Amino acid sequence: MEKILENLRIEKMAMSFLQAPYKLNRIHEADAELIDLGKEYDKYLALTTDAVVEEVANGLYDDPYLIGWMLVMSNFSDLAAVGAEPLGILISISYPSTQDEASLSKLAQGVSDACQELKTFVLGGDTNEGKELLFSGCAVGLVPKKSVITRMGAQPKDRLFLSGPAGLGSVFAFLKMYNQDFPSLDRLYQPIARIEEGKIIREYASCCMDTSDGVIHTVDTLMRLNRCRFILYDDWNRLLHPLAWQLCHMENLSPWLALAAVHGEFELCFTIRPQNEKEFLGEAKRIGWNPILIGEINDGLGVSIKSSKGFVPMDTGLIRNISASAGSDPHVYLKKLTEIALKAAI
Amino acid sequence: MEKILENLRIEKMAMSFLQAPYKLNRIHEADAELIDLGKEYDKYLALTTDAVVEEVANGLYDDPYLIGWMLVMSNFSDLAAVGAEPLGILISISYPSTQDEASLSKLAQGVSDACQELKTFVLGGDTNEGKELLFSGCAVGLVPKKSVITRMGAQPKDRLFLSGPAGLGSVFAFLKMYNQDFPSLDRLYQPIARIEEGKIIREYASCCMDTSDGVIHTVDTLMRLNRCRFILYDDWNRLLHPLAWQLCHMENLSPWLALAAVHGEFELCFTIRPQNEKEFLGEAKRIGWNPILIGEINDGLGVSIKSSKGFVPMDTGLIRNISASAGSDPHVYLKKLTEIALKAAI
């Protein structure tokens, strides 16, 4: 299987670091780091760090409120994916001395509102003067040891779910690039980390990961870690967010492209054993949540789309590496993706 | 008393954030955030975030190994100041796609060596592509609830200590600006977070803070928080690092200038009640450590230097605000400081 360029870079950086003996997961194995605080404490500490840099640099996020909101949500989404409940977030910010007060205060408002939405807190921070705006977070939470969930554990026959419809991240990115005049574009995309859903998922799922980098990225990662074959269903109008479905139709794009954008929708992607499916769906219903069945796990390896024509294999490694080779230019990325779509004729 | 500009900026940013009910300290009250994980757990979680940005931007740190080392040490120094033992650090890094592999690997080596020096670990991280090198950390540790220490608690009659000699941070900054040819400059400054010393300090001290921004900055902060008068002794050859003492002498600079550089030496500055001093010094000796008595706490407010001429008041608020108004240009900062030194005739 094709190696993932981004992972090679991370692994190279991490090569000289020793593994902490009290850390549950190894590199890539969970969305957040899981730390054992000792036998006397029945929860793992869940830790993650995520920065909002590239989305600001390439113009995807230009509203300071959204930047603040996304910093919080992207970090807590990683906690949601291990089933953790948030304690709070630390924030490190650098900005030029010329940065205007109004935009800083909008940024702080985005952070504050996102934390209140999740009933959590900013615990502390660090401010620096720098050449460009740079914004990094570190979220902290707790998860009961007996029901912690990682990216590991999917097995053939498992059912593949998404916590909500796919593709809103790609719709936002597409409109931001090609149709800035789209009405209420800024309010269109304001994801909420799936903390409450994560607390149900952790009780039933065999593995979980968030779709911060899009569904294809997530499914490819889970497939590689669990060494199974991941099948995606092709009834796109059920799987995709209505706007994503509509946009693909209008722009004459293959619907799976909405899953391939590296700018995701921050849903949770997880697998459930067939025998647990009914009880899981019952619990989900109890909180008014409708998880979406998007596929299944089979014997073998790789990712395929199941359509009326049969199984169409997808080179998800190739797709992921486009984003690494396209750098952070979304135009180049979409062009390369579309070329693949035409070749693959999915 | 003069307001501190840097604090006003931080407070403005934090104004819209709610305080977590399970957080022990309020803003500015401790070097690290102290989180109560529940009655069933007898330790506080200690959290801090610190970025290395300005020192890289103004050329103070140009060796990637030192940048890596300092990121780790500056974060763990905050944990040491609350008496915490490290669990590890999360690292967020942004760098241009043109960044050479060799410097990244030196940077990782600096991180790795610093963690091994403190017997701790890199727990996770995040990599991004950005315009400039940006490097932020988030350190996590634990401290027994019964012996946690913050910046609050100094009282008149307390004795003021430093965990080691002062001024090496300012020597390094001065030589880096004016004498790049100084032999082994890079190895001259490689501070080690005072974790082991912090474990003794937490049992005896009434308050503690690290000198990451230099001794004056630290003493001014402790004075404001505890509303006491802080007296510094003027026997500089005992207080200062031999190189700092030598440099002030050679360059005809007032010795207290070595305490005023905002680039500190990452020692711990703490107060001890007179009745605990003997036992504390005995415990320190047991691990081969010689804390340095640098002053005392009196009734009143402000910072003064006690010399043969009597008490000379120091406008530490003014000194701290120079660094805010000089931006991150160390040349401007030193020029303004020297002007004050000439006027004050300390």
The residues in A 178-237 lying below 8 A from B, measured between CB atoms, are: none
Q: Which residues are paired to A141 by β-bridges?
A: A46, A86
B51 membership: H or E segment, kind and range: strand B43-52
pLDDT of residue B164: 97
Phi, psi of B61 (to 5 degrees): -110, 110
Find the range with the poorest average confidence among A289-298, B81-90, B258-267: B258-267
Domain boundary (A90, A117, A146) is at A146
**Residues B80 and B132 placed together within one structural domain of the fold:** yes
- The mean per-residue pLDDT over the stretch B332-343 comes to 76
Q: Does B7 touch chain A (CB under 8 A)?
A: no
B138/A134 Cβ within 8 A = no
Predicted TM-score (pTM) of this structure: 0.94
Non-local (6+) Cβ contacts of A315 within 8 A are A2, A340, A344
- Of the candidates A9, A37, A126, the beta carbon closest to that of B127 is on A9
Dist CA A229 CA A300 (whole Å) = 5
Amino acid at A331: H
- How would residue B344 be classed by pLDDT, with cut points 50, 70 and 90? low
Q: Which residues of A touch B104 (CB under 8 A)?
A: 13
How does strand B33-36 pair with strand B43-52? antiparallel
Q: Is the pLDDT of residue B346 over 90?
A: no
What sign has the CA pseudo-torsion A56, A57, A59, A62? positive
- Do residue B53 and residue A13 have CB atoms under 8 angstroms apart? no
Distance from CA of B229 to the nearest CA of A (A): 28
Q: Which of B35, B50, B126 sits opposite A49 (nearest CB)?
A: B126
Q: For residue B48, which residues of chain A lie inside 8 Å, CB to CB?
A: 90, 124
Whether residues B321 and B183 fall in one domain: yes
B73 touches chain A (CB under 8 A): no
Q: Which residues of A touch B128 (CB under 8 A)?
A: 51, 53-54
- Domain at A193, CATH number: 3.90.650.10
B326 interface with A at CB cutoff 8 Å: no
The percent of chain A in helix, strand and coil, each rounded to the nearest 5, is 40, 25, 35
CATH code of A55's domain: 3.30.1330.10
Note the pLDDT of residue A99. Answer: 84
A227's tokens = 């060494």
Domain check: are B197 and B304 in the same one? yes
Phi, psi of A208 (to 5 degrees): -155, 145
Interface test with B, best of A136, A140, A212, A323 (most B CBs within 10 A): A136
**A16 part of a folded domain:** no
- Cα B37 from chain centroid? 27
Asked whether residue B304 falls in the same domain as residue B181, the answer is yes
Together in a domain, B195 and B313: yes
How far CA B150 is from CA of B80, B198, B208, B228, in Å, comes to: 11, 11, 6, 16
Which of chain A's residues have a Cβ under 8 Å away from the Cβ of B18? 112, 115-116, 121-122
Based on the structure, what is the number of domains in chain B?
2
Domain check: are B280 and B166 in the same one? Answer: yes
Distance, in Å, from the CA atom of B188 to the CA atom of B246, rounded to the nearest integer, reads 14
Mark whether B183 and B246 lie in a shared domain: yes
The rounded distance, in Å, linking the Cα atoms of A117 and A178 is 31
Tell me, yes or no, whether B173 and B141 share the same domain: no
Q: Give a yes or no: residue A131 inside a domain.
A: yes
Tokens representing residue B345 in the block: 């005739």
Name residue B229's beta-bridge partners. B298, B302
User: To probe the interface with A, which of B103, B123, B325 has the most A CB atoms within 10 Å?
Assistant: B123
Q: What pLDDT score does B327 carry?
A: 63
Contact A97 B327 (CB under 8 A): yes
Strands A205-210 and A122-129: unpaired
B68 to chain A nearest CA, in Å?
12
**What does the pLDDT look like over B95-113, one tens digit per residue?**
888 888 899 999 999 999 9
Q: Copy the structure tokens of residue A138.
A: 């570190």
Q: Is residue B7 part of a domain?
A: no
Q: Are residues A256 and A297 in the same domain?
A: yes
Tell whether the model's pLDDT for residue B262 goes beyond 60: yes
Residues in chain A: 346
Residues B329 and B188 in one domain: yes
Starting at the earlier edge strand, list the strands of the sheet with B33-36.
B33-36, B43-52, B134-144, B85-95, B122-129
Give B207-257 pLDDT, tens digit per residue: 999 999 999 999 999 999 999 999 999 999 899 999 999 988 888 888 888
List the single residue in B with minimal CA-CA distance to A94.
B53
B3 found inside a domain? no
Q: Do A124 and B327 lie within an 8 Å CB cutoff?
A: no
Please state, as a whole number, how many other Cβ atoms lie within 10 Å of the Cβ of residue A325.
10
**Per-residue confidence at B194, pLDDT binned at 50, 70, 90?**
very high
Specify if A66 maps to a domain. yes
**B43-52/A310-314 β-pairing:** unpaired
Which of B18, B126, B134 is nearest residue A94 as measured by Cβ atoms? B134
Chain B CB contacts of A15 below 8 Å: 108
Q: Any chain A CB within 8 A of the CB of B117?
A: no
Same domain, A64 and A136: yes
- Chain A residues with CB under 8 Å of B90 CB are 33, 47-49, 138
User: What is the extent of the structural domain holding A113?
Assistant: 31-146
Q: Do B97 and A9 touch (CB under 8 A)?
A: no
> Which residues, in sequence order, are bridge partners of residue A139?
A48, A89
- B187 shares its domain with B242: yes
User: How many whole angstroms separate alpha carbon B69 and alpha carbon B191?
Assistant: 9
**Integer Cα distance of B119 and A21 in angstroms:** 12
Contacts for A295 with CB less than 8 Å, ≥ 6 apart: A159, A160, A219, A230, A231, A232, A233, A306
So what's the ipTM on this one? 0.93
In a domain? residue B17: no
Written as tens digits, the pLDDT of chain A (346 aa) is: 777 777 777 777 777 799 999 999 998 999 999 999 999 999 999 999 999 988 888 888 999 999 999 999 999 999 999 999 999 999 999 888 888 889 999 999 999 999 999 999 999 999 888 887 888 999 999 999 999 999 999 999 999 999 999 999 988 988 888 877 777 777 889 999 999 999 999 999 999 999 999 999 999 999 999 999 999 999 998 999 999 999 888 888 888 889 988 889 999 999 999 999 999 999 999 999 999 999 999 999 999 999 888 999 998 988 888 877 776 677 787 788 777 776 665 5
Check if the beta carbon of residue A106 is closer than 8 Å to that of residue A145: no
**Domain end residue (candidates: A146, A180, A202):** A146
Burial A159-177 (b: 16+ CB within 10 A, else e): bbbbbbbbbbbbbbbbbbe
Last residue of a domain, one of B91, B120, B146: B146
CA angle A79, A170, A330 (to 5 degrees): 105
Is A49 in contact with B108 (Cβ distance < 8 A)? no
Residue A26 within a domain? no
Locate A30 and state its tokens. Answer: 């969970």
Other C-beta atoms within 10 Å of A307: how many? 13
- Evaluated on CA atoms A316, A319, A325, A328, the torsion sign reads negative
| Residues of chain B contacting residue A23, judged by C-beta atoms under 8 Å apart | 88, 121, 123
Nearest Cα residue to A11 out of B137, B104, B70 = B104
Answer whether B325 touches A (CB < 8 Å): no
Has residue A318 been placed in a domain?
Answer: yes
CA distance B29 to B142: 18
